[in-house]
Amino acid sequence: MRGVEEIVDKKGGFQSKKILQRWYEIFGESFSAEYARDYQLSRFQALLSSGSGIIYARSSEVLVEFGGETFSTTDTRYFSTIGSYFDSIPCSNPLDSRPAVLERRPGYLITDEGFAKVFVAYRFPSILPEGILYSVFGLAREVCFKWKLMDSGKFASKAERIIARKNGRSISENALAGELAEIVQQIRSGIDAISFHLFFVVYADTERELKGTCKDLQTALKLYGIEAESPPFYQQELFEFKTKLGFLFQLKNTITTANSARIFYPFIKETLAEEGGVFLGFSSTGDPVVLDPYRRQNYLMLILGESGSGK
């Protein structure tokens, strides 16, 4: 992914305002079929280009008892302020149903669901695998991707001036100029520029467990070349997914194109496990199938099977 952190919109940020914001729940899709991936990624790129917005993913554990045994699986739900291009339904603001913060500590928070710590990704490699976020859903219970659609023409003009200044100065500045040149090339071909922030929220029952899970998350991200930190003293603001920290500090924007940001495609669901649903059986891979029909606009179902199979 081509991303540049040094160019920052001084008026940037995604501070929440007291305005009515529409939300949609987006239903995940299987990402295992290679022939369908280009279509999925193209739709995601179109979503990013349709306007500024927020994508919020939340995972929860689903326990199923069957035959005297307890089976555990994960239900990941996806929400966005833009409901186009994917199978979605209008919903209430999912951020209103998050755990309540009971106490602020310098490096973490205490909520009514345990300890919580927020990380912000700030550095990305040139190449990342598609669907990278899916690999960390087991470590971070919440993931938030906030992006802002930029004025691509103005950014390209500014970037070209920076390229002219930095070329030939040093290895690092040459590398930055090269990344900017690739972004400008995509913009000139008609692809939109965006700036974004990526948040990860880790929860745990104890401080020790929190420390271990946070270390595992950072290690998992580093395997892909992603650097993420958890700034102390600003955990409350980060927990609310704000980018302005206090009166003096603001998170830097990472700038890339909608095409390069396709790697953050999040709407992946390889199993059907929905918290609060009805246990229907097991899939061909041995995973519990738990369906909540009331999440959908149409509650009708068709169940097929051989005689005596327990339909």
- The predicted-structure confidence for 126-150, as pLDDT tens digits, reads as follows 888 888 999 898 899 999 999 999 9
Specify the range with the lowest mean pLDDT, choosing from 33-42, 206-215, 260-269, 276-285: 276-285
Contact 148, 193 (CB under 8 A): no
- pLDDT: is 270 or 203 the higher one? 203
Q: What are phi and psi of 92, to 5 degrees?
A: -75, 165
267 inside domain: yes
| pLDDT average, residue stretch 153-179 | 74
At residue 12, does pLDDT exceed 50?
A: no
182 inside domain: no
307 inside domain: no
The band of 1, judged by pLDDT with boundaries at 50, 70 and 90, is low
pLDDT mean across residues, the chain: 86
- What number of residues does the chain have? 311
**HSE value, Cβ hemisphere, 13 Å, CA-based, for 109:** 23
Closest CA to 251 of 176, 172, 144, 154: 144
Directed axis angle between helix 171-188 and helix 152-166, to 10°? 150
266 inside domain: yes
Closest CA to 199 of 304, 299, 58: 58
33 inside domain: yes
Closest CA to 211 of 125, 73, 105, 74: 105
At residue 176, does pLDDT exceed 90?
A: no
- Structural domain containing residue 35: 23-150+192-277
At residue 18, does pLDDT exceed 60?
A: no
- pLDDT: is 130 or 303 the higher one? 130
Contact 165, 86 (CB under 8 A): no
Torsion sign (Cα): 203, 204, 205, 211: negative
- pLDDT: is 26 or 274 the higher one? 26
Contact 297, 39 (CB under 8 A): no
12 inside domain: no
Report pLDDT digits (tens) over 217-250: 999 999 999 999 999 999 999 999 999 887 778 8
Report pLDDT digits (tens) over 51-103: 999 999 999 888 878 778 888 888 899 999 999 999 999 999 999 999 999 99
The band of 168, judged by pLDDT with boundaries at 50, 70 and 90, is low
- Give the separation between CA 253 and CA 136, rounded to whole angstroms: 22
The band of 15, judged by pLDDT with boundaries at 50, 70 and 90, is very low
- Using CB atoms within 10 A of its CB, is residue 22 exposed (0-12), middle (13-18) or buried (19+)? exposed
61 inside domain: yes
Torsion sign (Cα): 96, 238, 89, 301: negative
Residue 9 has what pLDDT?
A: 42
84 inside domain: yes
The band of 2, judged by pLDDT with boundaries at 50, 70 and 90, is low
At residue 16, does pLDDT exceed 80?
A: no
Contact 78, 267 (CB under 8 A): yes
At residue 3, does pLDDT exceed 70?
A: no
Number of folded domains in the chain?
A: 1
Q: What are phi and psi of 41, to 5 degrees?
A: -70, -35
Q: Give the number of other Cβ atoms within 10 Å of residue 261's Cβ.
A: 23
Residue 50 has what pLDDT?
A: 95
